[in-house]
Amino acid sequence: MTKDLSGKCKTSNKAVLAWVEEMAKHCKPDCIYWCNGSKAERKTLTAEAVEMGVLIKLNQKKLPGCYYHRSNPNDVARVEQSTFICTESQEEAGPTNNWMAPKEMYQKLRAYAEGSMRGRTMYVIPYLMGPPGSPLAKVGIELTDSIYVVLSMGTMTRMGEIALEELGTSDDFNRGLHCMLDVNPERRYIAHFPKDNAIISVGSNYGGNVLLGKKCLALRIGSYLGRQEGWFAEHMLVLGVESPAGEKTYVAAAFPSACGKTNFAMMMPPPHLKGWKIWTIGDDIAWMRPGPDGRLYAINPEAGYFGVVPGTNSKSNPAAVQMISRDTIFTNVALTPDLDVWWEGKDGPPPKECLDWKGNKWTPDSEEKAAHPNSRFTAPMTNNPLLAPEVNDPTGVPIRAIIFGGRRSNTTPLIYQAFNWVHGVYIGATMGSEMTAAAVGGAGQVRRDPLAMLPFCGYHMGDYFRHWINMHKTIKHPPRIFHVNWFRKDGQGEFLWPGFGENMRVLKWIVDRCHARTDAEETALGWVPGPASLDLTGLSNFSPERLEQAQAIYEEEWRREIMMQDELFMKLHARLPKELIFQRELLLARL
């Protein structure tokens, strides 16, 4: 090893040593670098990444500690078609996942990995998902030949010695191997082996494909382990709502990708609700387990945010603007001549000239976007001015409400509450969201995304619903379940609800419902706010009629909706819990 500050192996854990040695023999790197997670190490590796051209140092006066990265243009997002769940049988993975037999996939990917790190460094990244000492925390080790992955994992997880300490002499850790290869979509696989608690990712160097703690361990493998061990791994933000009297209520919310989870988790209440405050626990993933007092406790397994950049500004997310002004890696945004970053939807006018995410000259007259729509920031949670101190509490926070939501321009009201747990699971299971223009299938088309877990559930979706129904028995004080839709439009195509910070008004009603201190009216869909219980004071250009429109339930639309839900139910038929079919019947009967 050439590094003097770090890079040496310090563990005596036999299982770790044996596995790293086996993988090194196979991938044949020139050297092995053990990450310790120290500040000094980050400084050295960042300088090395700049020297290698992997990162560009940004204007340190404007953006202290910030760096710029461009990914290969063929490698800009998670690739669902290359993501596989390798359970013993295809039935176990279910019809919503790609599947290959573990033996076959191991063979295929080992062949790709063999000798693939010749002339390169293999970084050993021990990482901890969750606060140290938490019964919910898990250790993973990722082996990678990408320095970008090392630096990103250093932000997104509790990385280095802290993880090895947590592991001790145990052999219970996730084994993750990542080989960049030649970043070729033809040889891109993100393969999960739930029974072995193992992941192999090849041929990519971008986000969720390669930061193995995130979608791969925390959701796909996590959901599999959660079913076995009696907990939930969910695609949910977690936040705390503090009332003017200082009462804190914790809420988890599942919205599909790019539906505003990060914005909601970092919301600034409007002036009218000044005494109210939001605290962020997490913006993307929640691990939840029943506690000894019968409540459901949640931790955020991550330590950073990997958020979509375009559209981030002081209206949509003022706290994020502050958060990403230092110690942040920007990927695939635009680069200005004074080494600042720019993206569509940033505060202020566009630059007269800059380099777009591919490195080509861009001006406001250019037809293409300067920043890729899926360009990202990677920022440490400690930069978040709204970070809840409880984020490091090993017991987690007790969840009072679970919110489901999607992007729907019609049909779905702004807010309603489930009648009970099973009804809530039905609402989550039938969640739909309109795809954005960038997604396959065309803009506006509704895709079913049950509990926002369609791309992230590591086993049969029908069994996942069963797990959700069964868990009720283990939670004496279950959270109340709600559904929201910020995206409903009027006849002119305008959003009916102003959104962003104003969503606090809806959240306040949810919190008040959890504490049984506001009224509600019964509808076919569930409980909705009574005429005076949603506080609209100080909301400009918003009349009670507009709220009525936002809350309207049209029988015709709902009959169509229920028909559309059938497609997913048919697909999952063999393992679909009967309770959900009954819920569907009950809803039809109520309409």
- Binding Mn ion (rule: CB under 5 A), the pick from 75, 145, 284, 502 is 284
Nearer to ligand OXD, 75 or 284 (CB): 284
Q: Which is nearer to Mn ion, 318 or 455 (CB)?
A: 455
Among 164-172, 250-258, 316-324, 502-510, the segment contacting Mn ion (CB under 5 A)? 250-258
| Binding partner at 78 among ligand OXD, Mn ion, none, C-beta below 5 to 8 Å by kind | ligand OXD
457 versus 525: smaller Cβ distance to Mn ion = 457
- Footprint of ligand OXD on 300-339 (CB under 6 A): 306
Pick the closer one to Mn ion by CB: 241 or 265. 265
- What, of ligand OXD, Mn ion, none, does residue 411 touch, CB below 5 to 8 Å by kind? none
Q: Looking at beta carbons only, is 379 or 587 nearer to ligand OXD?
A: 379
Nearest CA-CA partner of 207 in 265, 284, 267: 284
Structure tokens at 181: 């290869």
Cβ of residue 376: shortest distance to ligand OXD, in angstroms?
A: 8
Pick the closer one to ligand OXD by CB: 283 or 579.
Answer: 283
Size of the site for Mn ion (CB under 5 A): 2
Q: Which residue in 42, 69, 70, 78 binds ligand OXD (CB under 6 A)?
A: 78
CA–chain centroid gap for 101, Å, is 27
The span from the CA of 233 to the CA of 224, in Å, is 8
Burial track 508-527 (b if 16+ CB lie within 10 A, e otherwise): bbbbbbbeeebebeeeebbb
* Vertex 129 angle, CA 292 and 395, to 5°: 20
* C-beta neighbour count of 554 within 10 angstroms: 12
- Compose the 287-306 pattern: x for residues touching ligand OXD by CB under 6 A, - for all others: -------------------x
Nearer to ligand OXD, 211 or 511 (CB): 211
Q: Which residue is nearest to ligand OXD (CB)?
A: 257
Q: How far apart are CA 310 and CA 372, in angstroms?
A: 8
Q: How far apart are CA 90 and CA 40, in angstroms?
A: 46
Active site residue 66: no
Catalytic residue chosen out of the listed positions 216, 259, 354, 457? 259
| Residue 499 to residue 495: CA distance in whole angstroms | 9
| 3-state class (DSSP) for residue 239 | strand
Looking only at the bridges linking them, the beta strands covering 376-380 and 329-331 are antiparallel
d(CA 176, CA 85): 14
Q: Which amino acid is at 199?
A: I
Residue 527 CB, nearest distance to ligand OXD (Å)? 29
CA-based nearest residue to 453, from 291, 285, 310: 285
Order across the sheet with 361-362: list the strands.
Answer: 341-342, 334-335, 354-355, 361-362
Site for ligand OXD, residues 357 to 396, rule: CB under 6 A: none
Q: Min. distance of Cβ 465 from ligand OXD in angstroms?
A: 20
The two three-digit tokens of residue 216, written as one number? 């791969």
Smallest distance, ligand OXD to C-beta of residue 306, A:
6
Closest approach, Cβ 272 to Mn ion, in A, equals: 31
Name the minimum Å distance from CB 199 to Mn ion: 17
Per-residue x/- marks for ligand OXD, 227-266, CB under 6 A? ------------------------------x---------
Which class for 35: exposed (0-12), middle (13-18), buried (19 or more C-beta within 10 A)? buried
Mark 19-58 with x for binding to ligand OXD (rule: CB under 6 A) and - for no binding.
Answer: ----------------------------------------
CB 223 within 8 Å of CB 450: no
Cβ closest to Mn ion, residue 45 vs residue 285: 285
Pairing relation of β-strands 198-202 and 174-179? parallel
Out of ligand OXD, Mn ion, none, what residue 208 binds, judged by CB under 5 to 8 A for its kind, is: ligand OXD
Does residue 208 touch ligand OXD according to CB under 6 A?
Answer: yes
Q: Does 449 bind ligand OXD (CB under 6 A)?
A: no
Residue 305 φ then ψ, to 5°: -120, 135
Say whether residue 408 binds ligand OXD (CB under 6 A): no
Nearer to ligand OXD, 127 or 306 (CB): 306
Beta-carbon neighbour count of residue 331 at 10 Å? 26
Q: Please list the alpha-helical segments (H only) found in 218-308.
A: 222-229, 261-265
Q: Which residues of 64-91 are buried (b: 16+ CB within 10 A; e: fewer)?
A: ebbbbbbbeeebbbbbeebbbbbbeebe
Which span sits near Mn ion by CB under 5 A: 73-81, 251-259, 313-321, 411-419? 251-259
- To Mn ion, the closest distance from the beta carbon of 235 in angstroms equals 6
Cα–Cα dist 535/529, whole Å: 10
Candidates 142, 166, 234, 284; binder of ligand OXD (CB under 6 A) is 284
Distance (Å, whole) CA 550 – CA 535: 15
Q: Which helix (H) or strand (E) holds 470?
A: helix 461-471
Tell me which residues are annotated as active site: 259
Q: Residues in the site for Mn ion, rule: CB under 5 A?
A: 257, 284
Residues in touch with ligand OXD (CB under 6 A): 78, 208, 257, 284, 306
